[in-house]
Structure 1
Amino acid sequence: MGCVREKISTLIQDIKGMGCNFPMLYINLDFIDKMEVEMCVNDVFFRSLKDIEKHVDKSLKNIEDYAALVEIKNKYSEAYIYSKLNSLLVLDKVPENEARKTPDYKALFRGKNIYIELKSLNMLGGNSKHKEIMHDAFESKLYLEGEISKGNSVAFKEGEICPYDKGNADYDPRSVRLVIELLIEKIGNNIKNEQYSCGDTVLLIDFSDQLPIISKPSDALQQHYYDGDSKSQVSGELWNVAFGRLNDAIYRASKFEGESNNDGLLEKQGVLISYPFIKGIVFHYWGHFYSIAQMTRDNSPVIHLLESLWDIFPEALLR
């Protein structure tokens, strides 16, 4: 295995020459250094670096291999979150089984095994969206260079990234309901029942900075909250992703005084409502864990695990 850090640095410089690529913005070279130092004693780091290097090599040969660029981010994300969890728990990687799907990790907590299934989400549109972003950034770069070559000392070029835009004519970037429903859809598409059959299993969702939410995380974990800026009630995205029910009223921030904050009725059911075998959800967002645990009649150890590691909002637990 070569020096992965050097290869990634070269790739990042190549991408900067083109414009901007979202997945690579997530990569922290200091953590790559940590992985390379510890890979001889950390099998997860070793395997992750091996996979990362394979996809970096592909990308260096073809800068527009967007599938490879996304895989670099995914493998990096898995190792990064493993490292964070491993500092909090006695954590083991669950061996892969060809016969059936298995969760990613097993954590020993108070003498009981808790399983963790990790899913990394990417923006809607996948590789085509990343291609669009990079090409738009390259066009902006050419425009700015052209303005400077004309003698202009200052030049501006606006760009817009719409991670939830499916290309629909009625796309509304202010819609909280749209964010909730699309997150429910993306998470649901990644749920395989077999991966939750080993025992009490928590679903860990990594946004990887690909799918921003409108609210602050502390607000997003509430069913509804008061937004002081717009002076209106707003629905929390993460709470409703977990616990929302069909036809629940969803609210968004009013743009101006007197505008309705009604954002329509929820058309998709929350993940923990649709999949009762999932014992709880942990969201990894901008480097922090945010948790919503599902109340169970048997006083599930998952509840105590989450309570002992991360702040659990009472609104979520009292559902």
Structure 2
Amino acid sequence: MAKTRDEYLRVAQMLSGLTFSIPVSLMTLAKIEEIEAAAVNDPVLASLVKELHDKLKAVTRPEDYERMAQCYEAYSEIAFYRAATGRGVPLSRTPGTGKQNQKRPDFVHQRHGGDLYFEIKALEIADSLFRHKELAERALDNAADLAERAKKPGIHFSEPLEISGALPAASTVERIDQTIAKIMNNVKPGQIYWGPTVLVVDLGRFAGIYQGASGLLPVFFHDGPPAQSCVSGELWQIAFGNPGERVFELPEFDGKSNLAGHQTREGILRAHPGLVAIAFMVPRLSAEPEIFTIWNKRYDQTRLTNAPALNEHQLYEVLDDVSDGVNDTTNEDGWAHTVHPARP
């Protein structure tokens, strides 16, 4: 059987010089080779790699946009699994997942005699059915145009291909609202209320403005170009914002207004009060992903099928281990991230 790296290479080469795929571009050969090597001694990882292999194998045409999207979703689960286990939070597949149409979280971590579950959601780009095709066709047109112009002497550049997760030209508030809508459309109660659960949202295909761990705060101070300004944490607004709240954005220059408008949608932890936390995973091509987490100390335990056994301190311990930055819905844990970029 062909290795996963071989299937990835086949798909990448099928697209190379012809068209473009966001999900395929977010995966790298080096990472897949690294993953395959690690899977030899890790049965859980081996099962995840097999799923990725099978999904890559199912891609047979450049127009297989949905299948390529499914490849990235499998890749995203692997990325979180490796990041968590590498940080001392070993994971197992949740027993019963996918059997008899049961909806349960993807992974479970056991500590102090209790379970904490993790459900992974890799957000798709906005209006994906149309925009995947549009991006692919534009990339194909650019490649054809460049090939034609390359017949003449000189240095030639192709037209730029604008790539964004949210709809092009979306404002700060629109991007926040679109992200919330994407998450809400992907969440199923059975996957997040089986037991105490962290919803992990992969932002690789739907990235906003990078704010680092400061994005976990309702407001932080941006201390650098293009302007010094108070800015709303986009991750906070997605997790715990309220309709009607004023949103502040990074202005283009000092003196320009930072007023972005008012949020229109309810944050995820308000809409799903039984969630322990929402963790935002930001992929990096040459390193493990960054993970930024907001947790609800007062999550509604009555909504859970299986009662929690971990107390507040134990939950924070796990979240702190797995995350690059943590805040909570009372805004007590984010004090270290009040300034971005961080001062020396």
- Is the TM-score greater than 0.5? yes
User: Which residue, 145, 166, 169 being the options, matches 1:172?
Assistant: 169
What count of residue pairs does the alignment treat as equivalent? 311
| Equivalent in the alignment of 2:312 | 299
User: What letter corresponds to residue 250 of structure 2 in structure 1?
Assistant: A
| Equivalent in the alignment of 1:290 | 292
Structure 1 runs of 4+ aligned residues shifted over 6 Å read none
Structure-2 change in CA distance of 1:290 and 1:25 (3 Å): same
Following TM superposition, by how much is the alpha carbon of 1:39 offset from its aligned partner in structure 2, in angstroms?
Answer: 4.4
In 1, Cα distance between equivalents of 2:163 and 2:185: 23
Aligned residues of 1:119 and 1:190 also touching (Cα < 8 A): yes
| Equivalent in the alignment of 2:23 | 23
| Equivalent in the alignment of 1:216 | 211
The two structures have a TM-score, normalised by structure 1, of: 0.88
| Equivalent in the alignment of 1:241 | 238
Following TM superposition, by how much is the alpha carbon of 1:316 offset from its aligned partner in structure 2, in angstroms?
Answer: 5.9
The one-character-per-residue Cα deviations of 1:154-213 (angstroms, maximum 9, x if unpaired) are 435222123211xxxxx634x221121111111111222222333221111112x21121
Following TM superposition, by how much is the alpha carbon of 1:252 offset from its aligned partner in structure 2, in angstroms?
Answer: 1.6
Following TM superposition, by how much is the alpha carbon of 1:53 offset from its aligned partner in structure 2, in angstroms?
Answer: 3.0
SS across alignment from 1:119: strand
Q: CA RMSD in A?
A: 2.4
User: Which residue, 199, 202, 212 being the options, matches 1:206?
Assistant: 202
| Equivalent in the alignment of 1:7 | 7
Following TM superposition, by how much is the alpha carbon of 1:291 offset from its aligned partner in structure 2, in angstroms?
Answer: 1.3
| Equivalent in the alignment of 1:69 | 68
Task: Report whether the alignment pairs 1:190 with 2:203.
Answer: no
Structure 2 segments unaligned to the other structure (5+ residues) = 284-288, 300-310, 334-344
| Equivalent in the alignment of 1:168 | none
Task: Report whether the alignment pairs 1:281 with 2:283.
Answer: no
Structure 2 counterparts to residues 63-102 of structure 1, below 5 A = 63-87=62-86, 88-95=88-95, 96=97, 97-98=99-100, 100-102=102-104
Structure 1 segments unaligned to the other structure (5+ residues) = 166-170
- Deviation larger for 184-193 or 33-42: 33-42
SS across alignment from 2:108: strand
Following TM superposition, by how much is the alpha carbon of 1:258 offset from its aligned partner in structure 2, in angstroms?
Answer: 4.8
SS across alignment from 2:74: helix
| Equivalent in the alignment of 1:312 | 326
Structure-2 change in CA distance of 1:132 and 1:316 (3 Å): farther
Aligned residues of 2:116 and 2:197 also touching (Cα < 8 A): yes
User: What letter corresponds to residue 139 of structure 2 in structure 1?
Assistant: A
SS across alignment from 1:241: helix
SS across alignment from 1:149: coil
Task: Report whether the alignment pairs 1:262 with 2:276.
Answer: no
- Deviation larger for 40-49 or 191-200: 40-49
